[in-house]
Amino acid sequence: MFDIILKRKERTNVLKGIKLRLYPNRTQQNQLEQMFGNDRFVWNQMLAMMNERYQNNKALPFLGKFKLNYLLKPLKKEYPFLKTSNSSSLQVVNEFLTQSWKNFFQDKTGQVGKPRFHSRKYLKKSYTGKSIIKTAGKRYLKIPKLGYVKTSKTGVLQNTKIKRYTVLLEPTGKYYLSLQAEIPEPEKYSLTGKRVGIDVGVADLAILSNGLKYPSFNSSYFEKKAKIWQKKYSRRRHLVKLLVLQDRNKRVLCPRSLESFTNWQKAQKSKAKYQAKAANQRRDYLHKLTTHLVKQYDVIAIEDLKTKNLQKNHHL
């Protein structure tokens, strides 16, 4: 009996996602741009090789991530700029690529297609690594290949073991560090003995069985701003494309490129900024609401209906 009580009191570790804001300097930003490009380059090189291998003989055995990792060493000799990236990040690229091929081969419905090549025009850039990240003070982290990078806070990383990290650049121009950390299991909330049923609606976000109503989150201000800048962005980009096409037709000696115009790029960042604000506020509202419900009730029952299907019915 005493052993059973001890086992119940033992706390296990759980995985938790932690997201921090990064403030890299200009040198580190240039280095991150190179590392983003290296991941994209390795993905495209490995994918081209696997596509050619699959087209030549479909009966050949599938190349796993470990076999692809052996090809990284000769690839680095041929392209020395790959050495600027963390070696674990390139291995993660091979892991993601093999998983994409497995999803393609295991899919029987035909909905999952073959992996596609990555474009440098994709706005959300990122790379994932499995190396050790160390805290250096309250506002600094030591990231492999980057050195000491200023961050928003490091207190949340106490008593954690980082399994995997992802450095990403949002379309708004902000850098973030997403961590998959192993933390001690948090203490459970005290039992209240209450039960509740939730009816998901269209006019109201949730209606409880005891009569309480939670209104839907209103982010109309930022959504209106995002729509305005979306129109500006589309209009400016269309005009720029016409100017670039005009230079090509006239065979100008030094034709202008799409990236040489900054007006549409400013509109793109403004559009992404307002979209991110609306999404962050909505996410914060939902997190606070769900946390409140979990603290108040032990059993929560939710109907199995899709709100999107309800919105399609104009009679509701």
Full-model pTM: 0.80
Q: Which residue has the tokens 């589309």?
A: 234
Residue-wise pLDDT tens for the chain (316 aa)? Answer: 334 433 444 557 788 888 999 999 999 999 999 999 999 999 999 999 888 888 888 777 778 888 888 989 999 999 999 999 988 999 999 999 999 888 888 877 878 888 889 888 777 889 999 888 888 888 899 999 999 999 988 888 888 888 899 999 998 889 999 998 888 877 788 888 888 888 877 778 888 888 888 888 888 889 999 999 999 999 999 999 998 888 888 877 778 888 888 898 899 999 999 999 999 999 999 999 998 898 888 898 987 766 666 667 666 5
Q: What is the pLDDT of residue 112?
A: 82
Q: What is the pLDDT of residue 10?
A: 53
Q: What is the pLDDT of residue 163?
A: 87
Number of Cα atoms under 13 Å in the Cβ half of residue 238: 6
Residue 65 and residue 94 in contact, taking contact as beta carbons nearer than 8 Å: yes
Q: What is the pLDDT of residue 33?
A: 93
Number of Cα atoms under 13 Å in the Cβ half of residue 49: 16
